[in-house]
Each structure stands twice: as structure tokens, then as C-alpha cells.
């Protein structure tokens, strides 16, 4: 099968969606499919290297720009490649992909999970482009892969798309790349649980929906409980200057470090005693799953895709959205109970290995493509 994969926004500051596209492309290639990538993957050298090693061709086209040029560029690329199916891997590529597929009479699928429509989008759309997007989803797109039930329901509310068109396909985690601990059944944090010292990590795009500006409050609250807490923030994004200003103005400023974007995430996760997730509108939560693969206990808001990833008290902990007191209480209790900490760690690793493998991820999209092509045949 010939598959055109479109990743409209490629940059070091983006989140996990672009890496999932790369993993999907490599997995499909290994299964014998012919893949053509569309996106500015040269912006991230590590991605370019992986795609080149897999002998996957790339068309460096800027899809998410304004105006008609990105759409025309994609139409010409799709016409030249003549794929069996077109896949828009991020919402910002849907309009261009949908128009190209409509004009070329090709089946088209999309992935929803990253940058979900907001409540305001659901009520009002996003101007003329939002109205076109909704129309294309309902009338042109053959199928949608949603990263969670939360993302699926959000998309249906936003677009009015038929429920049968939307299939839940969780993101895949390259478990082996994170499975490097000396003791394979449990995470061994670099700080000592017995010393009342804890390293709290947060990973992801620094964007408003991530609520990373809550980190100083959490570090302060843990300190009042007698815990020597430090925070590590990994990632970049549109809210970075704001979050850094909040940290600088806080009493926890000396105990929080920004690490920027990192490519050695397995080693970064092993610096954490616990990963926290503050956001409530996450479509999946790739950082959550990656931390779980490393055996790092996760404390997350009981909302969005995180609430589907984590079974509370079994392989992670869920707390009320925005409740810093609950975050602090849970983390403090984990630091005082090694048995519970290690049980969460072991169960988290088992869940990711069993339920979120790259092979499962690729197989599910392979099935989605096959159904889309079959359902679109004349």
C-alpha cells in the first residue's frame, strides 16, 4: 500500500505527535508499505536521520502556513505520489489533506489527540477555516484515529462526525528504548526515598493547556511537608516565557530547572522520582506513558486521556484537576512508602508493555487504512 503521511508542524518545540508519525512511518515501512512523508522534518535532525536510515522519502513542504499555497503544494505532491490513502497526522493538516483527497478522489484519514479543539471551538468553530474543517471531517474524511475515548468524544462534539468513523487508536511506546534499568521490574530513582528528597518532573510542550506554571506551588507545598523537593521541566513551547516568569517570581525559583528539549528521554526520566501531569485536556499523554515505561510513578489530573492511561492506585495516581494539595499529599505518601512506590512502578511498566506497544499502534493504523481503501473503492 502507498501511504502519504502528513505532519504539518515539525519543530523541536512540538510535542509527541511528530515522533509518533515517525514511528508509524518506520513501522509501516518494515511491513512492506511504501511511505512518503510530508513535513519539515529537517528541522529535527534526529527525525531526519531515522527516516533516512529507514529509506523513507520526505517532501519538505510547509503545510500549516496561511493561504492557498500549502494546499496547492500538497495537491501537487499527492498527485505525483498517487497514494492509496492520505493520512493527516495532526489537526492543522486536516484542511489541506481533506481538500487534496477530495480533488484527487483518494481516501483520507486523520489522527486526533494532540491539540484538541477547545470548548469554545466546539461551540463556535474557528472562523471560516474551522467551518471548512468540520465539513471536511463529516463529508470527506473516511476514518479518524482518536488517541483515547476522551479525544473521540471531544471530536464528535466538535464536528458532528459519525461515531462509526472514529476508532480509538492509542499512541505506541517504544518500550525497549526505555527498558534500560538494571532491575527490570522496578524503577530505581536517582534520589533517595529515605532521605526525604524528591525530584519531581514534568515533560511536554510548554503550552497553556499543560498548566506547567503550577510547578512552583507544588514544590513549595512539598517543602512545607518537610520534603527536599526539586523540579525539572522538560520541553519548550509558546508559554515558555510566561512559565519561566512565574518560576522566577516564586519562592521555589532556585529549586526548579528548565532542561529544554531533550533527545535522551530514557535517561531524563530516570532522574525523576515522580512525574506529574497538570493538564486536563490531554488527548493521550505520551510523556505519561513513557514515564510509566521507565517505571516512574505518575501523579496526574483525573481528566482527559490521562484518566484512561492510569488505573488509580494500581499503576499510577489520579488527583482532582488543579488540586496542588492532593498532588503534594500523594507524592509525600509515596516517598514514605517504598512498597507502594515499587508496586506502582512495576505495574506501570507492565501496562505499557502489554497495551501500548509500537507493533499494536502500527497494526491498528494498518487496519484503518485497509478499511478506508476498501470502503472508498468504486
Beta-carbon contacts of residue 336 (< 8 Å; ≥ 6 apart): none
Same domain (yes/no): 282, 320: yes
pLDDT tens by residue, 305-342: 999 999 999 999 999 998 999 999 999 999 989 999 99
Same domain (yes/no): 117, 192: no
Q: How is 32-67 classified by DSSP, letter by letter?
A: T-EEEEES-GGGSHHHHHHHHHTT-EEE----SSSS
Same domain (yes/no): 221, 138: no
Same domain (yes/no): 27, 167: yes
Mean pLDDT calculated for residue range 36-46: 85
Task: Name which of 278, 170, 179, 162 is nearest 219 in CA terms.
Answer: 278
pLDDT band (50, 70, 90) for residue 295: very high
Same domain (yes/no): 267, 146: no
Q: Which helix (H) or strand (E) holds 226?
A: none
pLDDT at residue number 257: 96
Q: Which residues pair with 257 in a beta bridge?
A: 232
Angle at CA 207, nearest 5°, toward 263 and 302? 95
pLDDT tens by residue, 90-108: 888 899 999 999 999 999 9
Angle at CA 100, nearest 5°, toward 99 and 104? 120
Same domain (yes/no): 196, 138: no
Q: CA-to-CA distance for 101 and 219, rounded, in angstroms? A: 49
Domain that holds residue 262: 175-355
Same domain (yes/no): 212, 118: no
Same domain (yes/no): 235, 147: no
Q: CA-to-CA distance for 329 and 324, rounded, in angstroms? A: 9
pLDDT band (50, 70, 90) for residue 193: very low
pLDDT at residue number 369: 97
* Predicted confidence (pLDDT) at residue 114 exceeds the cutoff of 80: no
pLDDT at residue number 45: 84
Q: Are 196 and 305 in contact (CB under 8 A)?
A: no
pLDDT at residue number 182: 43
Beta-carbon contacts of residue 293 (< 8 Å; ≥ 6 apart): 173, 175, 178, 179, 348, 349, 352, 353
Mean pLDDT calculated for residue range 272-284: 92
Q: In Å, how far are 61, 292, 373 from 85, measured between CA atoms?
A: 18, 33, 7
Same domain (yes/no): 205, 302: yes
Mean pLDDT calculated for residue range 108-130: 69
Same domain (yes/no): 335, 211: yes
Task: Name which of 325, 316, 322, 289 is nearest 303 in CA terms.
Answer: 322
pLDDT tens by residue, 3-34: 999 988 666 545 577 888 999 999 999 999 99
pLDDT band (50, 70, 90) for residue 65: low
Rg (CA), the chain: 21
Q: Are 311 and 302 in contact (CB under 8 A)?
A: no
CATH of the domain at 319: 3.40.50.2000
Same domain (yes/no): 310, 363: no
Q: CA-to-CA distance for 290 and 269, rounded, in angstroms? A: 8
Q: What is the total count of domains within the chain?
A: 2
Contacts within 8 Å (CB) and 24+ apart, 60-67? 63/6, 63/8, 63/38, 63/39, 63/92, 63/93, 63/96, 64/8, 64/9, 64/92, 64/93
pLDDT at residue number 47: 87
Same domain (yes/no): 235, 194: yes
Q: Are 143 and 376 in contact (CB under 8 A)?
A: no
Amino acid at each position: 500500500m502507498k501511504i502519504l503521511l502528513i505532519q504539518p508542524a515539525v519543530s523541536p518545540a512540538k510535542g509527541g505527535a511528530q515522533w509518533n508519525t515517525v514511528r508509524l512511518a518506520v513501522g509501516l515501512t518494515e511491513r512492506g508499505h511504501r511511505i512518503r512523508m510530508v513535513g519539515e522534518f529537517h528541522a529535527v535532525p534526529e527525525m531526519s536521520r531515522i527516516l533516512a536510515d529507514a529509506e523513507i522519502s520526505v517532501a519538505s513542504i510547509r503545510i500549516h502556513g496561511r493561504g492557498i499555497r500549502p494546499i496547492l503544494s500538497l495537491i501537487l505532491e499527492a498527485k505525483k505520489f498517487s497514494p492509496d490513502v492520505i493520512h493527516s497526522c495532526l489537526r492543522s493538516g486536516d484542511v489541506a489533506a481533506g481538500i487534496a483527497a477530495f480533488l484527487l478522489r483518494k481516501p483520507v484519514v486523520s489522527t486526533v489527540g494532540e491539540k484538541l479543539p477547545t470548548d469554545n471551538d466546539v461551540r463556535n468553530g474557528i472562523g471560516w477555516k474551522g467551518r471548512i474543517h468540520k465539513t471536511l471531517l463529516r463529508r470527506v474524511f473516511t476514518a479518524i484515529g482518536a488517541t483515547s475515548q476522551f479525544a473521540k468524544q471531544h471530536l464528535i462534539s466538535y464536528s458532528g462526525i459519525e461515531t462509526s468513523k472514529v476508532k480509538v487508536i492509542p499512541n505506541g511506546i517504544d518500550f525497549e528504548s526505555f527498558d534500560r534499568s538494571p532491575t527490570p521490574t522496578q524503577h530505581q530513582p536517582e534520589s533517595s526515598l529515605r532521605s526525604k528528597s524528591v525530584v519531581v518532573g514534568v515533560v511536554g510542550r510548554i503550552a497553556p493547556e499543560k498548566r506547567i506554571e503550577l510547578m512552583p506551588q507544588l514544590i513549595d507545598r512539598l517543602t512545607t511537608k518537610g520534603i527536599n523537593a526539586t523540579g525539572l521541566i522538560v520541553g519548550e513551547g509558546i508559554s515558555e516565557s510566561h512559565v519561566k516568569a512565574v518560576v522566577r517570581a516564586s519562592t521555589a525559583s532556585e529549586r526548579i530547572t528548565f532542561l529544554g528539549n531533550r533527545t535522551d528521554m530514557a535517561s531524563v526520566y530516570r532522574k525523576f522520582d515522580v512525574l506529574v501531569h497538570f493538564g486536563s485536556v490531554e488527548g493521550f499523554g505520551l510523556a505519561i506513558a513513557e514515564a510509566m515505561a521507565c517505571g516512574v510513578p505518575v501523579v496526574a489530573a483525573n481528566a482527559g486521556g490521562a484518566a484512561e492511561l492510569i488505573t488509580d492506585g494500581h499503576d499510577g495516581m489520579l488527583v482532582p484537576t488543579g488540586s496542588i494539595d492532593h498532588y503534594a499529599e500523594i507524592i509525600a505518601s509515596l516517598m514514605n512508602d517504598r512498597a507502594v512506590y515499587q508496586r506502582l512502578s512495576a505495574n506501570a511498566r507492565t501496562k505499557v508493555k502489554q497495551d501500548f506497544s509500537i507493533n499494536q499502534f502500527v497494526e491498528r493504523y494498518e487496519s484503518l487504512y485497509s478499511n478506508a481503501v476498501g470502503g472508498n473503492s468504486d
